[in-house]
Amino acid sequence: MALIDKEVNEFVFELSSRNPTPGGGGASALVGALGIALGGMVANLTIGKPSYADDEDELKSLKVAAYRVQKELLELIQKDADAFGPLAAAYRMPSGTDEEKASKERVMESALKEACLMPLAMMRLCAEAVGLLERLAVIGSRLALSDAACGAALTAAAMKSAWLNVAVNTVSISDAGFAEEVNAEGRELLGEWIPRAEAVYESIERTFAR
């Protein structure tokens, strides 16, 4: 059974088990999907309300985009788990002889590269999610502001978590150029989108401050 087809309690208990997957990567993707799902909720709660009619078309577009990002993040839960399989197998390869050691290193290099690309894809999608939530926080129903703020907080957490799952793999990659390129993109995403997510959260949080 695919991980995203499991019931919530099954997934959570499996996450806490000794099984290597799902792990931090899958959890990051799930949290990101929950974050942008709240964006979809904001859109759905706003569409059809007369006082927001001027933004109806844009809200519908944001809703479609939010659903796509949500779907892609959920798909990455399984893709991340699938990418870890070859890496786990590589760690178990024998390395007693020079030939075995060289073979293991080649397989591990390939597996590490694939494994780091899954959480990097999560980071890109979380960045897109933050952009959608920024706009929804402006034109969405005032009654759903807290949902937009929660969505921003979740997507920020998901992006930070995904970044760790990038870095834990790139640190072991021998191809320095590849590792530096991946790390540079990850840090750039963090540098731009975490502050933007926090700004959405903080601006909405201030509206409830007494």
Asked whether residue 1 is domain-assigned, the answer is: no
Residue in the block written with tokens 């590490």: 112
Distances, alpha carbon 198 to alpha carbons 45, 66, 96, 155, 161, in Å? 23, 19, 50, 10, 15
Asked whether residue 3 is domain-assigned, the answer is: no
pLDDT for 1: 63
Residue in the block written with tokens 């731009």: 192
Identify the domain containing residue 36 by its residue range.
Answer: 22-208
Q: Give the mean pLDDT of 89-94.
A: 78
Asked whether residue 16 is domain-assigned, the answer is: no
Domain with residue 129: its CATH number is: 1.20.120.680
Answer yes or no: is pLDDT of 42 > 90. Answer: yes
pLDDT for 210: 65
Distances, alpha carbon 74 to alpha carbons 55, 95, 175, 183, in Å? 28, 36, 30, 23
* Out of 21-25, 62-66, 132-136, 191-195, least confident range: 21-25
d(CA 42, CA 151): 10
Residue 114's closest CA among 83, 159, 72?
Answer: 83
Asked whether residue 42 is domain-assigned, the answer is: yes
Answer yes or no: is pLDDT of 30 > 80. Answer: yes
Asked whether residue 4 is domain-assigned, the answer is: no
Burial class (CB in 10 A: 0-12, 13-18, 19+), 117: middle
Answer yes or no: is pLDDT of 94 > 80. Answer: no
Asked whether residue 8 is domain-assigned, the answer is: no
Asked whether residue 92 is domain-assigned, the answer is: yes
Asked whether residue 14 is domain-assigned, the answer is: no
Counted domains in the chain = 1
| The model scores a pTM over 0.85 | yes
